[in-house]
Amino acid sequence: MLVQAFSFDSLMLLAIILMAGAVSYGFALLILKIMHRRLKGEGARLPVPAYFTAVTTIWALIFGFVAAEVWQTNNRAVEASLAERSSIQRLYGSAAVEALDLFTLRVGLADYVAAVTEDEWGAAANGEPHPRADAAVQAIRLALLEVARTDIPEPVIAKMVVDFDELQDARELRLAIGQRHVAELKWALVVVLALLSQIAIAFVHRDRLRAGRTAIALFTVAACLSIWLVALHASPYGGAVRVSPENLTALLRP
């Protein structure tokens, strides 16, 4: 369910998060009013106000861990894209007309880029390998085997094989990131702790309704905007802010 939500347009995602925040804000206000009526003049029954900061601190820590994981995944996605582009560019440079003039290898690389950008990256958001891309990888492999039978110096062939291995490694990393499922339990924990933080703020301000409403509103807005900014990047290939295949598509341009 979260995967579909994270794939929405950025403004749509913001609207959904703000709506959820508004509902939780209303619930926290209800708790505030109930506590104001039932616990008025009975402060000795409740822990000291500073105790409730523990809940907001736990929320901040958990959310920080989730955000760090999201940023790290996006960085790895960018690195995989650049590594894949670099490997293709090196192989294509070796196969160019002015270099070794390997027509079969150039065709295989062009087919690979088209299959990746149109089928794996575009249609499936790198969620699974596509047979067309697998066929292109095999075509590149056969082209390199054909090169190995020629009189091209062995160090040149060895370097091309290394480039091909790095291309496959970059593709596997890209697909591994794309197949990584959103940690729904972690995000659920973030949401639950945010709600508990609102309730904790309501307890603290049970004897000051106006101040309580303001404090809950400030926390709610801050939490919603923070969650929105991180959620934009939660799905590196299919989210509102995604890693673009432009690095690869640019290789097909004359």
Would you tell me the crossing angle of helices 103-115 and 53-95 to the nearest 10 degrees?
A: 160
Q: Where in the chain are the domains?
A: 2-252
Query: In the prediction, which pLDDT does 2 show?
Result: 56
Query: In the prediction, which pLDDT does 207 show?
Result: 80
Q: Smallest Cα–Cα separation from 220: which of 188, 196, 251?
A: 196
Degrees (nearest 5) of the Cα angle 110, 114, 120?
Answer: 135
Weakly modelled stretches of the chain, pLDDT under 70: 1-8, 39-49, 51-52, 181-182, 252-254
String of DSSP letters for 100-154: T--HHHHHHHHHHHHHIIIIIIIITTTSS--HHHHHHHHHHHHHHHHHHTSSS-H
Query: In the prediction, which pLDDT does 251 show?
Result: 75
pTM (predicted TM-score)? 0.81
Question: Which residues have a Cβ under 8 Å from the Cβ of 233 and sit 6 or more positions away?
Answer: 70, 71, 74, 239, 241
Query: In the prediction, which pLDDT does 222 show?
Result: 94
Query: In the prediction, which pLDDT does 88 show?
Result: 93
- Mean per-residue pLDDT of the chain: 87
